[in-house]
Amino acid sequence: MISYVTIGTNDLEGTAKFYDAVLGVLGASRKYETETFIAWAAKSGGPMISLNKPYDGNPASAGNGMMVALTAESPAMVDAVHKKALELGATDEGAPGPRGGGYYGYFRDPDGNKLCAAYLG
């Protein structure tokens, strides 16, 4: 259903290194890259996450109420993604653990965007 999710950044190359490492834990790699955006996917034709400099030239800001959930294959993978994100300077928004029928770990990227590693079993 989702083709891609776009996340704004003020430091494309610096924040891309964060996403290379965090999304790498999930088996994703860079699929597309230009001067203004980089997109990652875990498989060809699958959903992507795109990190972009805002098209309008204004500074990027984190969306209030916006969150991207990343699919993990196990609770251990949730733990690994959350740990990697924090090692790279992410802000902890909720330690990994069971919540509402799944297993989740929350964090914010270097630009303040909220993400979640999620295992729904």
How many separate domains does the chain show?
1
Q: How far is CA 99 from CA 67, 91, 96, 102, 121, in A?
A: 16, 19, 9, 5, 12
- In a domain? residue 78: yes
Q: Could you tell me if residue 25 is inside a domain? A: yes
1 has pLDDT over 90: no
Whether 18 is covered by a domain: the verdict is yes
Q: Span 35-55, mean pLDDT?
A: 94
What percent of the chain lies above the pLDDT cut of 70?
100
For residue 13, tell me if it sits in a domain. yes
pLDDT at 27: 96
Domain annotation covers residue 60: no
pLDDT of res. 64: 87
* 44 confidence band (pLDDT: 50, 70, 90): confident
Is residue 74 domain-resident?
Answer: yes
pLDDT at 5 over 90: yes
Is residue 59 in some structural domain? no
Q: Compute how many other C-beta atoms are within 10 angstroms of the C-beta atom of residue 73.
A: 10
Q: Which domain holds residue 28?
A: 4-54+65-119
List alpha helices for the chain, DSSP H: 12-25, 75-87
Does residue 114 lie in a domain region? Answer: yes
| Domain at 110, CATH number | 3.10.180.10
Query: Encoding tokens for residue 78?
Result: 């949730």
Contact criterion met (CB below 8 Å) for 5 and 109: no
Residue, of 41 and 1, whose pLDDT is higher: 41
pLDDT, position 29: 97
